[in-house]
Amino acid sequence: MSKPYVLGVDIGGTNTVFGIVDARGHVIASDSIKTRKHASFDDYVEELHTGVMRLLKANDAEDKIYGIGIGAPNGNYYTGEIQNPPNLPWGPVIPLAEKVSKAFGGIPVGVTNDANAAALGEMTYGAARGMKDFIMITLGTGVGSGIVVNGQLVYGHDGFAGELGHLIVKRNNGRICGCGRTGCLEAYCSATGVARTAREFLEVRTEPSTLRNLPIEDITSKDVYDAAVAGDQLAKDIFEYTGTILGQAFADMVAFSSPQAIILFGGLAKSGDLLMRPLKEAFEKNVLPIFKGKTKIILSELKESDAAVLGASALGWEAKYRADSPAANAVANGSAVVVSTEEEKK
């Protein structure tokens, strides 16, 4: 019997990364293509197919892919579509699962957004193994989230539930967020948000800082981190401010779903005590007494270079299982894995 694999695909605004993953969560091999290279979505799928088939052939994995999981911006689990993507050129509605399944001869395809894919990956391969209730928070350019309750990702009635990065944390005079609203968590606690805080602090405060040696509009969260590690007090205060807001927001999140853990992933999560100390202090100060001591705040166990592919691959196994089990498919939120007409005829 041949060894089963799934394909994990992570569609980013710049690159699409794909990899072959075995049942133990090992990434056998991976590669990438440029996401925005083609004006036509069909041309993009064709290049993705070519790249994947080349990778499969090189690793003796042809005809061994049992399912495909895809994490994508605004990926809808229920419909298999990308809907109104903020940074992809093919909108407003992209029939992702349908087109990819057809290109690969009817292999079952599951789709969700990138943060939900990260939560699936953590539950399948990482720090959330054995947990039925947890929240995954991705701290990158934005703030993403995946909410798991009783072992199931929360998708809501339309497939887009769980946008905790767009909780309002500043009701009055909040920053404008990329979503168009003001005061969102993402505007303060993402890598972009840290850079915005740096610019604000530099404008309103007068003490010396090595950050003043940089062009103010070019400052990044990495610059702030490097300065803080070197002992720069203003940079340390930026992390204090960021961690406090994040900890307060986590206290509100716990009141919603009482998770066993909140798991952090992404570049900003690697800031160590600069972020984690004020975060945990603010969390403990603001969490409801009934929840005190019940929720851990921990870091992801997924290897960053493999995390996107692993997260998406977990959805590939689910897609295969649900395609093979109509009864399970009916129970799973009433949704359906998309397969092509070629598969349906078999």
What pLDDT sits at residue 35?
Answer: 93
The closest of 337, 264, 326, 330 to 80, measured between CA atoms, is 337
Domain layout of the chain by residue ranges: 5-118+304-344, 129-299
What pLDDT sits at residue 39?
Answer: 85
CA 120 to CA 5: how far, in whole Å?
Answer: 17
Is residue 196 within 8 A of residue 175, CB to CB? The reply is: yes
Is residue 212 within 8 A of residue 223, CB to CB? The reply is: no
What pLDDT sits at residue 49?
Answer: 98
DSSP 315: H
C-alpha distances in angstroms, 322 versus 108, 118, 197? Answer: 9, 20, 45
User: Does 129-299 match 5-118+304-344 at the fold level?
Assistant: yes
What pLDDT sits at residue 326?
Answer: 57
Is residue 69 within 8 A of residue 117, CB to CB? The reply is: yes
Is residue 165 within 8 A of residue 145, CB to CB? The reply is: yes
**CA 335, 326, 152: angle at the middle one, nearest 5?**
45
**CA 11, 52, 155: angle at the middle one, nearest 5?**
35
The CATH number assigned to the domain with range 129-299 reads 3.30.420.40
Please report which residue ranges of the chain form alpha helices under DSSP H: 41-58, 96-103, 114-125, 186-189, 191-204, 221-229, 233-257, 273-286, 304-324, 326-331, 341-344
Spatial neighbors of 341 by CB under 8 A, at least 6 apart, are 102, 106
CA 251 to CA 152: how far, in whole Å?
Answer: 21
253 token code pair: 């999140």
The CATH number assigned to the domain with range 5-118+304-344 reads 3.30.420.40
Is residue 10 within 8 A of residue 17, CB to CB? The reply is: yes
What pLDDT sits at residue 172?
Answer: 93
DSSP 214: S
What pLDDT sits at residue 330?
Answer: 38
The closest of 79, 81, 83 to 91, measured between CA atoms, is 83
Which amino acid type is present at position 217?
E
Which amino acid type is present at position 116?
N
DSSP run (H or E) holding 264 = strand 261-265
Output Rg (C-alpha) for the chain, integer angstroms.
Answer: 21
Instruction: Find the length of the chain.
Output: 346
User: Does the predicted model carry a pTM greater than 0.75?
Assistant: yes
Is residue 55 within 8 A of residue 20, CB to CB? The reply is: yes
Is residue 85 within 8 A of residue 74, CB to CB? The reply is: yes
Return per-residue pLDDT of the chain as tens, 346 residues: 468 999 999 998 889 999 999 999 999 999 999 998 988 999 999 999 999 999 999 999 999 999 999 999 899 999 999 998 877 889 899 999 999 999 999 999 999 998 999 999 999 899 999 999 999 999 998 999 999 999 999 999 999 999 999 999 999 999 999 899 999 999 999 999 999 999 999 999 999 999 999 999 999 999 999 999 999 999 999 999 999 999 999 999 999 999 999 999 999 999 999 999 999 999 999 999 999 999 999 999 988 878 889 999 999 998 888 887 754 443 333 344 554 434 443 3
